[in-house]
Structure 1
Amino acid sequence: MAALFTVDFQNCFIFILVCLFSILFYSLLFKKSKAGFNLPPSPPSLPIIGHLHLLLSFLIHKSLQKLSSKYGPFLHLRVFNVPIVLVSSASIAYEIFTAHDVNVSTRNLPTNEGSLFFGSLGFTTAPYEDYWKFMKKLIVTKLLGPQALERSGGIRAEEVERFYSNLLDKAMRKDLFRGERPLKKFGISPFKKELASLSTRFDEVLEKILVEYEDNIDEHHQGTDTSTHAIQWKMAEIINNPNILERLREEIDFVVGKSRLIQETDVPNIPFLQAVVKEGLRLHPPVPILVRMFQESCEIKDFYIAEKTTLLVNLYDMMRDPDTWEDPEEFKPERFLASSRSEQEDKIRAEVLKYIPFGSGRRACPGSNLAYESIAIAIGVMVQCFDWKFKGDKVNMEEARGAMTLTMAHPFKCTLVPRTILPFTSS
């Protein structure tokens, strides 16, 4: 019996070895040869799995950051037979999103058939073809363009008042503010009534827009969750830096006063508030890694990139690069302030290269302007109207593991204290 067991074990072991060597020889003999091509630098890899072991992490943006710091900002990786290009350089990313933007405008993400936007027919997952271009035009002109945002300004003003009322009610009841609940009520988008039916009526609504050019949509889902997390990160940074909180509050009081509630129209007159939002997005981009695919082969920085190569742009690493940012790990909103017009223009040109929290190119987030405004006004309300008290010295800035978006592992819990006896008014 023991001898039979030994023979079976040996046969199984030999069979496993044959399978592994078969896979190895198949990958070496039948994959497309890249001989003669100058590929980007590549870290040491393992047989068969390639660099898979380097990518297995619940905080993959940080794992990729360590990889780039050791081997360089432009790397060629391989997972089995899947080629991957990792970019952590602002200048290389800028070249890709300008000279090769059309080539990398397809995301090649797995679709969710039960999602709001109908899997591969959705705006975020559709390939860069006529359908996506049509959807982009509709969204920009009917939902997120300047005229559309101007039409919905009154609705957003009502949401600001509702958000303030919710926080004030929580403060009066001395309930703990847990970061996420009031922000969910506030939402980020200016619409609130038809989200539940939007997924089943999306085609019908689009058809109506086409025929009648009337947009009666009362909810725009894109960006709500990521913007909510963005607000949490910024408030945590502000609370952890009392001097920044004090300066921001002084500027808001100077521009708005101590009795009127801050409005969207006040934000352009408060440059430090805008700087706080930008600095928060630099340190905590909503989606830390952009995923694209090269549809055709090309050359970047004299390196060959094969067709169907997956592109990973590590925004988290790029916007913490010590070669382009001074004190990159510190929360310093003043880095986005300009003392003169010429200096401001220089900063804008520089930011094009190194500051892209909402992506870049044709597939950049079309709701970035709305996100900036909504985040700024939410931060403005919370800073203008309330003092924030919490236990401990600092808010825990640990990141949640395994999340698709950059999320706080421990949303901060605070007690809100109204700054004034009389409530703020909108006029």
Structure 2
Amino acid sequence: MKVLVIGGGGREHALVWKLAQSPHVTDLYCAPGNAGIASERIRHNGAPVHCVPIGAEDLPTLVAWAREQRPDLTVVGPDNPLALGVVDRFQAEGLRAWGPTRVAAQFEASKVFAQQFMERYGIPAPRGAVFEDPRAASRYAASLGGRCAVKADGLALGKGVRVCRNQAEADAAIEDWMVRRLLGPAGARVVIQELLEGIEVSLHALCDGRTALPFPTSQDHKRLKDGDTGPNTGGMGTYCPTPFLDETQLAQAYAQILQPWLKGCQAEGIDFRGLLYPGVMLTANGPRVLEFNVRFGDPETQVYLTRLENDLFELLWASAEGSLPSAPLRWSAQTSVCIVLASAGYPGDYRKGCPISGLEEAEQIPGVKVFHAGTDRVNGQWVTKGGRVLGVTALAPDLPAALQKAYAAVERIHFDGMQYRRDIGHRALRWQRP
């Protein structure tokens, strides 16, 4: 089977790496891919992975390439192409693509749509309201004592949510987005939600339009610096599984979220085939959905796919075809950890072109895989190209062992200005089950 993966970050490297292990895959392409992806090979035939220099949001060129090359399956990684309707475009050409259609992608592309959908179908979520008038938004934030999450309606490259602890912070977010339009049209409408206390986790579920296969929990670390300080980022590291829900509690959480969500999709004619990723706050009153995403998380993909024992190609094919098996997914009993190495200046303006050393040495540690997010290969030398550069991922029997292995690998890697968190998994290490 010929497979195309759309995207070029660490998530897509993990998808390519896992798909390359499938005996069904004979040819594997990635658009645009990255230097690390280009170094992968298909396991059973040794064929190289081909990077195609087409941007993930260049839908006309992607469709033209696919019309000529006729991939058997196209796997969409990032959110923006989904929101733009890339799956619809491929389907119109008679091409099989995995991921939700433009209508189904609204769960992530529109925070307003997601909030109102959760209210309609009783999905547990924070109390919130939708606003188009900044003065009304400010008054509602004041009714919450200024302690709220202000969310831009549209996609904003991970920068569309501000957690506010007082009225001044809430008003600043409202001013920046609704009046100054720093996020462009994404901030024309906002959702303001009450600020919940608890532990935040990532859930994932693979869907085929009728059923959903749940994943274990993982936990991302959004803040740049140790102790959950500094600016929000696309994610500085994650681990899987987490200790915060036992199997019974996890099943209950999924039942409270997925069952009404599936019923709502059926009621509204939304044929969701892809990956649903709810970000969930575990509160004293049970789980609450903070937001929906409609694709694999990044860096959650790196830890999920290193633990997944199923054939990923078979799962994505079945999801796209509406024929997922009823059997639960199979997971390694081990723990996976991913440490993100970022460029100096990230998440703001960052340096590019810094030589990277130690990648081969890091991967000599058993159980370590380094996924590339923002690298290039220049005259035989690895160099930095993105804000998030690498995802150093380690698999070991438990969390302390996985962390030890991952950080040992990190110590072998160097590039100027390299920054990373040294406390990934700190909540789990301190956790004691009530």
Per the normalisation by structure 1, the TM-score is 0.26
Larger relative contact order, structure 1 or 2 (CA cutoff 8 Å, min sep 6):
1
Q: Which has the higher strand share?
A: 2
Q: Which has the higher helix share?
A: 1
